[in-house]
Structure 1
């Protein structure tokens, strides 16, 4: 019985970690994309540079979600 409660707590904890851990990157990437589109509309000659920097910023923002995934796996395994 106690083991089932511990397992349930692990699953709930991992779900909460991923839910909250994915929220920040989702909002950040949306904001980055929005601002990049505005910048491209204002300066069409800078599309290549803006796109490169947008992709780099998205990759950096996504690391938070990957760290949350790592923590969720650690919760489930230990």
Structure 2
């Protein structure tokens, strides 16, 4: 059961992060087409947002490892 719980934790975290990254990137590209002069600032903000979203799967892996080894 520990392995199933770990797999669900990683699966949920990775699906959520993939959806979040897709939304952030698509909205950033949409904003860049509407206001090209803001492209640099939007890109910087996008990278910060993607970095924060990528913390979710890392925490999912930590939870999965805790479920397996503890």
2:43 aligned with 1:62: no
The CA deviation at 1:28 is 0.7
Deviation beyond 2 Å, 4+ runs, structure 1: none
Counterpart residue number, 1:6: none
Higher gyration radius (CA):
1
Correspondence for 2:25 among 30, 33, 43: 33
How many residues align? The count is 70
Higher RCO (CA < 8 A, seq sep 6+): 2
Q: Give the structure-2-normalised TM-score.
A: 0.92
Whether 2:66 is the aligned partner of 1:74: answer: yes
CA-based RMSD: 0.9
Deviation at 1:69? 0.8
